Amino acid sequence: MKIIAIGQNYAEHNKELNSTNPTEPVVFMKPDSALLKSNKPFFIPDFTQELHYETELIVKINRLGKNIAPRFAHRYYSEIGLGIDFTARDLQRKLRAEGKPWEVCKAFDGSAVVGDFLPADKFPDIQNLQFYLDINGKTVQQGNTADMIFPVDELIAYISKFFTLKIGDLIFTGTPAGVGTVSINDRLEGYLMGNKMFSFLIK
């Protein structure tokens, strides 16, 4: 099982990070040890003083695929979910300034929080889904998949040029504007089209 993540896929988020919009999808990977599910608590690692949440739509791959055409990409997933891509932002700034890879600030243990999944066919249009994150009962981030720079089917087609997609692989599709820090004892709850998808504590 691979965790494939997309960076810089929402224009407003790129503005808040002082980044330009990419001309091709920005792809990075997380190891299976990054997976955190079943609403287990997340423990803030000691190597960061600025841990950011990034709420993202997740697509679960349901068949083997390579070099998938965009028009066929919808056949390669039947479930969608919501999760958090945790980022050690202070470490990321340092790595970017030095021109180094992102893995240690993006792919550390527990950094890929995965909530529940829903049937994709429950929704008429995967590119018009509203989602949001509450921390301690207050909405702190919200987005709509209509605002993606690269839609889901284009992402699948692009990723499959480089990596064979396998059953169970997860694609984190990018985060909208509104990212921010978390603190010990915060409770994070994510909602997709009104459905609660996860609820977990920061420790």
Query: Total structural domains in the chain?
Result: 1
**Within a domain: residue 163?**
yes
**Within a domain: residue 147?**
yes
pLDDT in tens, the chain (203 residues): 999 999 999 999 989 888 899 999 999 999 999 999 999 999 999 999 999 999 999 999 999 999 999 999 999 999 999 999 999 999 999 998 999 998 999 999 999 999 999 999 999 999 999 999 999 999 999 999 999 999 999 999 999 999 999 999 999 999 999 999 999 999 999 999 999 999 999 99
| pLDDT for the residue 102 | 85
| pLDDT for the residue 62 | 98
| pLDDT for the residue 184 | 97
Phi and psi at residue 75, to the nearest 5°: -75, -10
Domain that holds residue 27: 3-38+49-201
**Within a domain: residue 43?**
no
Residue listed under structure tokens 């499959």: 160
| pLDDT for the residue 18 | 85
Q: Which helix (H) or strand (E) holds 39?
A: none
**Within a domain: residue 44?**
no
- Specify whether the CB–CB gap between 97 and 18 falls below 8 A: no
**Within a domain: residue 12?**
yes
Tokens standing for 130?
């509203």
pTM here is 0.96
Q: What is the CATH number of the domain that holds 19?
A: 3.90.850.10
| Among 101, 116, 93, residue whose Cα is nearest residue 30 | 101
Q: How many beta carbons lie within 10 A of that of residue 195, not counting itself? A: 13
